[in-house]
Amino acid sequence: MVNRRAFLFRMALFSRVRSLPWRTSQPKGWPWAFLGTACEGTVTDVGTEGEQRERTSWKEESSQNLGFWRERLADQMLPLWRLNYEEQLKVKFESLKKNLETLESRLCKIGAGDPAPTTARSERPCSRLHPFMPSPVIHGYRNKSSFYINRGPDGNPKTVGHYLKSWGGSNVFCVQPSHLKDIPEKHNQVAQCFEAFLQQSTWGLSTDSCKAGPWHELIVRTTFLGHTMAIIIFNPQELSQEELCVQKEEIKEFFSTGPGAVCDLTSLYMKERTPRHQQLTPFQLLTGEPYIFEDILGLKVRISPGAFFQLNTSAAEVLYRTVGELGRVDRNTVIFDFSHGTGATGLSLARQTSQIFSMGLVGQALEDAKWTAAFNGNRVVQDIRNCRAIQTLVFVSCRPYGKSIKNIIKLCQPPDPDENLLGEPFVLRRAMPVDMFPHSLQCELVMLFTR
């Protein structure tokens, strides 16, 4: 029989970090009004003055001014990079507080929340938000970086970096990201060596997956154990197998015995990119070991080229500890791990609990699961609500707004037979934010629910 303290971790899957440019596509729940109040006169000035400066500079400065484009890229990828770390956490905390206030308002309208006759102000959702758990590493914390290949603002047609649109979006450039505070030196080293290889290559570049050249993306993964994996994504187009083999050998030689050997790669992969079914194309190991390894909370984790793993290893340890503490995991706890990837989430707590049920999805199974979830609506939430054995729920979200808010409302609203919500509702008890992505607007919010 499942223990009544059954503990569900991670109903929502973690998703990739998304670039959040100033005043263009910030997510719901991160309004500009709040950004100006958390650090008065600082963040707002960055956005408005940055736009005005860009409009003027676009006409006055030539495309040769790489410093201008590098600054624009930093504003797009890491909107909080101009602030010191303490101010960054303040910005994020105020935004999370605003989101929980919105949640509180919506729960009150439907008669959900703490069943106590009178809920003190100190016990409301927005007041249950604890201070931020900071990231142990602030600079160069990423263990995975993606680089793309396109024309740079200086005219170099094979620049390895991040995409950046010109004012008005009429042109797309690739800007080298070596100045970004979240990318470690090792990742930039591999990217620079790959760009050097491209300069001597007879192949073109890829701006369209169907019509342009083959080079599309470079992915670099590293671990604290000193392992480095490079993955080159390419579009074979109409190239013959003989031509492909020649290029693979040239890449292998470049990184094994040529100038790229300085990168000391543990693994070098290539993967074909097709317009559809990209998940179905296999990773091709050119040289080195098939896996890299990482240690996290005393657990040795094996990482394959396509596996999900938290981008900030040091902060992931903080996250996993927080999950275990909030869930009060002990030998009487049964863990249901609804996540995907390397299994580090549940296994990091294995020594503290009696049983773990991990439900992971990879490849095409994940795509099928996405369709099934969309087709069946709130079925997952319904099952959790209707499973009486689940008395404690730890919900981890990297986007604590939008769909996450809707799911939380379903978990907390009164029973409703029309929606097949028959079980007792959950009540939000604590919310612990963990900063996984310094300099960006994103974070992880760990929420404890009981009933």
**Which segments of 240-339 are extended strands (E)?**
267-272, 283-288, 292-296, 299-303, 334-337
Query: How much is the CA Rg of the chain, to the nearest whole Å?
Result: 24
Tell me, yes or no, if 398 is annotated catalytic: yes
Whether 126 sits among the annotated catalytic residues: the reply is no
Cα angle 269-272-274, degrees, rounded to a multiple of 5:
155
Apex CA 120: angle with CA 117 and CA 124, to 5°? 100
CA angle 209/213/215 to nearest 5° reads 80
Question: 178, 234, 172, 174: which is closest to 206 by C-alpha?
Answer: 234
Q: Which two tokens stand for residue 406?
A: 């809707």
- Say which of 71, 104, 195, 444 is annotated catalytic: 444
Q: Is the distance from CB of 451 to CB of 388 less than 8 angstroms?
A: no
310 annotated binding-site participant = yes
Residue 335: C-alpha distances to residues 100, 111, 239, 350, 431 (Å): 26, 30, 50, 9, 19
Pick the catalytic residue from 193, 398, 412, 443.
398
Which positions make up the binding site? 310
Which residues are annotated as part of the binding site for S-adenosyl-L-methionine? 310
Question: Active-site positions?
Answer: 398, 444
